[in-house]
Amino acid sequence: MTPPTADTSWFRGLGLGIFLNWTHSSTQGWEMSWQMVGGVTGQYPPREPVPCEEYFANPSTFNPDQFDADQWARSLVAAGARYAVLMTKHHDGFALWDSEFSDYTVTKASPFGRDIVAEVVSALRRHGLRVGLYFSIVDWYSELYPRYTDDNIRKPYELGVYPRQPETWDAFRTYLLNQLTELLTKFGHIDIMWLDGEFEHSRDEWDFGQIREHIRAVSPATIVNDRCVGFGDFRTPEQQLPESAPDGPWEQCMTMNDSWGWVAEDQAWKSPHQLIESLVETVSTGGNLLLSVGPMGNGAFPPEAEERLAALGRWIGANGEALQGLSSGLRPWQCRLPSARRVEEDGSSRLFIYLTFEPGSILRLRDLPVRRIERVSILGSGRDLPFVTSANIVDIQRQVLDALGDLVIDVELDPEDCVPVIAVDIAARVPEGTPGLLVPNPALHEV
């Protein structure tokens, strides 16, 4: 039987999170783990395969002299993020904390020698961010798994094809649970345990129910993603918005370019507009956006990532109200743009329309309570927009007081605005004194 999930009420509506994807491979500009296997057939951009032993020896080059956990946290807060998920160990098995169960760690196998997880988690907390830890349950370095070699894997990687060593599987799972215990006990309370690597081995072999119960026993309030298959507390669609919003809490995780880690040759950076568009499309349908930043080999964020974080920060600074406390907005036939609403205790509401594309000189919203429209404005600047309301003919004929109809907005935008947000204020009830017989009245609000 599936155990009850943890409390996720705090997770819903966080808005923006940052996925900190960093390991020793950044010193060479290699994608994390996947560079070793030449990428994934039909899924990832082609990666020039690196010999396994060369890849596994690379921590000897990892000595990031510009790593500053507090600077990372400051950049995330300035971007408007409210939580972060730090990669602690990717598929390659290299641990960014001082694990007593492995010699393949930042403190033992690299000249850097500092516990990165401890420093980053402390900095995130000091700056008021919720803390998540990414942990891959596979370990391509461990002899128990077994270790990947150029002879026992395919390059490029094919899903479902990997080496197996049944005689050490129980010992590996003990090792896995021991490392999870470390992460959940050494660094204070962890809000999110973000598991990955479920694609190797079967559900029965992993025994996800036991993994989830282990996490619950060690840290009862920690929530776990759906890659703990069948036992997750929230969903994690990757790189694209799902056709329909998942049931329950969820987040979309995505990259700023085509890579999760730092790959110098990857210059396919999404524009600030594209990233903000992804943010509002995700948030307006009930999810959070977990946006990846891959720090460079020296420990600093790439300038391109800093530029995009700053753009997100400016947008959220002006429009952050449209990211919090939201419920569903308009249906597609009512508005062709993303929308959401916030309902107040007195029954009034504010409808948000996110202009992810230029709607033209007017924007028509359908089936709204037109006699309760109080104001239409640009959210960031507060500038009022002219509008016209027109009741549906059927409601006019029936003399419906709280009639539905069209709201037509004269869209006057600043060309410098990136994804402006229109706010429509709707009263809780029809104002007193409204005539019982409704007629279209363009003069009421001149365009």
pLDDT in tens, 359-405: 888 999 999 999 999 999 999 899 999 999 999 999 888 889 999 99
Token pair listed for 62:
């990892």
User: Is the model's pLDDT at 19 over the cut of 80?
Assistant: yes
* Stretch (H or E) spanning 333: none
263: amino acid identity, one letter? V
Sequence-ordered list of residues with C-beta below 8 angstroms from that of 217, at least 6 positions apart, any chain: none
pLDDT in tens, 111-158: 999 999 999 999 999 999 999 999 999 999 999 999 999 999 999 999
Torsion of CA 388, 394, 397, 402, to 10 degrees: -60
Grade residue 438 by pLDDT with cuts at 50, 70 and 90.
Answer: very low
Q: Of all residues in the chain, what percent carry a pLDDT higher than 70?
A: 96
SS3 363: strand
User: Is the model's pLDDT at 435 over the cut of 70?
Assistant: no
**Residue located via tokens 């004194």:** 433
**Residue located via tokens 């929230």:** 234
Burial pattern 414-426, b for ≥16 Cβ within 10 A else e, equals: eeeebbbbbbbeb
Grade residue 5 by pLDDT with cuts at 50, 70 and 90.
Answer: low
Token pair listed for 42:
């039909």
Mean pLDDT of 257-276: 96
pTM summary value: 0.94
Mean pLDDT of 78-93: 98
Asked if residue 156 has a cis previous peptide bond (ω within 30° of 0), the answer is yes
What pLDDT does residue 444 have?
39
What pLDDT does residue 241 have?
85
Name the β-bridge partners of 349: 343, 426
Q: What is the DSSP letter of 238?
A: B
pLDDT in tens, 344-361: 999 999 999 999 988 888
Grade residue 69 by pLDDT with cuts at 50, 70 and 90.
Answer: very high
Nearest C-alpha neighbor of 260 from the set 45, 17, 425, 7 = 45
For 243, phi then psi, to 5°, come to -60, -40
What pLDDT does residue 29 have?
97
User: Is the model's pLDDT at 240 over the cut of 90?
Assistant: no
Sequence-ordered list of residues with C-beta below 8 angstroms from that of 154, at least 6 positions apart, any chain: 37, 161
Question: Burial level of 15, CB count in 10 A (0-12/13-18/19+)?
Answer: buried
